[in-house]
Amino acid sequence: MTDPLVRLEKVSVRFDGRPAVQQVNLSVHRGDIFTIIGPNGAGKTTLIKALVGLQPVTEGSVERAPGLVIGYVPQQLQIEPTLPLHVGRFMSLSGQPEAECRRALERTGIGHLMASEIHHLSGGERQRLLLARALVRRPDLLVLDEPAQGVDINGQAALYNLIRQLRDELNCGVIMISHDLHLVMAATDKVICLNQHVCCSGFPADISHDPAFIDTFGHSVAESLAVYHHHHNHSHDLHGDVVSRRAAEPAAHGAHCNHDHH
Partner 1 sequence: MTIIDSVLNDFFWRALLGGLGIALVAGPLGCFVVWRRMAYFGDTLAHSALLGIALSFLFSLPLNLGVMIVCVVLALALVSLSRTRALATDTLLGILAHSALAIGLVVLSFMPHVRVDLTGLLFGDLLAMSRQDLLWIYLGAGIVILLLIKLWDGLLMSTIHEELARVEGVPVEKLRLVLMLMFSLVIAVAMKMVGVLLITALLIIPAATARRLARTPEHMVFLAIAFGCLAVGGGLTLSWYMDTPAGPSVVVTAFLAFLFTYGTTRKAA
Residues that bind partner 1 (CB under 8 A): 49, 52-54, 70, 72, 74, 77, 79-80, 82-86, 89-90, 93-95, 117, 120, 133, 137, 143
Q: Which is nearer to partner 1, 66 or 240 (CB)?
A: 66
Q: Would you tell me how many other CB atoms lie within 10 Å of the CB of residue 99?
A: 8
d(CA 47, CA 198): 11
d(CA 39, CA 106): 34
Q: Which is nearer to partner 1, 130 or 222 (CB)?
A: 130
Query: ∠ CA 80-84-87 to the nearest 5 degrees?
Result: 100
Sheet holding 18-28, edge to edge: 18-28, 6-15, 59-64
Minimum gap (Å) between residue 133 Cβ and partner 1: 8
Task: Kindly list the distances between the CA atom of residue 142 and the CA atoms of 66, 231, 233, in Å, as whole numbers in the listed order.
Answer: 16, 28, 27
Q: Which is nearer to partner 1, 142 or 207 (CB)?
A: 142
Q: Which is nearer to partner 1, 120 or 245 (CB)?
A: 120
Minimum gap (Å) between residue 10 Cβ and partner 1: 23
* Among the listed residues 248, 261, 262, the one whose alpha carbon sits nearest the alpha carbon of residue 193: 261
Minimum gap (Å) between residue 95 Cβ and partner 1: 7
Q: Would you tell me how many other CB atoms lie within 10 Å of the CB of residue 197?
A: 21
* Among the listed residues 213, 205, 203, the one whose alpha carbon sits nearest the alpha carbon of residue 242: 205
Minimum gap (Å) between residue 83 Cβ and partner 1: 5
* Among the listed residues 167, 207, 159, 206, the one whose alpha carbon sits nearest the alpha carbon of residue 184: 159
Q: Which is nearer to partner 1, 117 or 249 (CB)?
A: 117
d(CA 5, CA 32): 10
Minimum gap (Å) between residue 210 Cβ and partner 1: 32
Minimum gap (Å) between residue 165 Cβ and partner 1: 23
Which are the contacts of 89, defined by CB distance < 8 A and separation ≥ 6?
A: none
Q: Which is nearer to partner 1, 46 or 195 (CB)?
A: 46
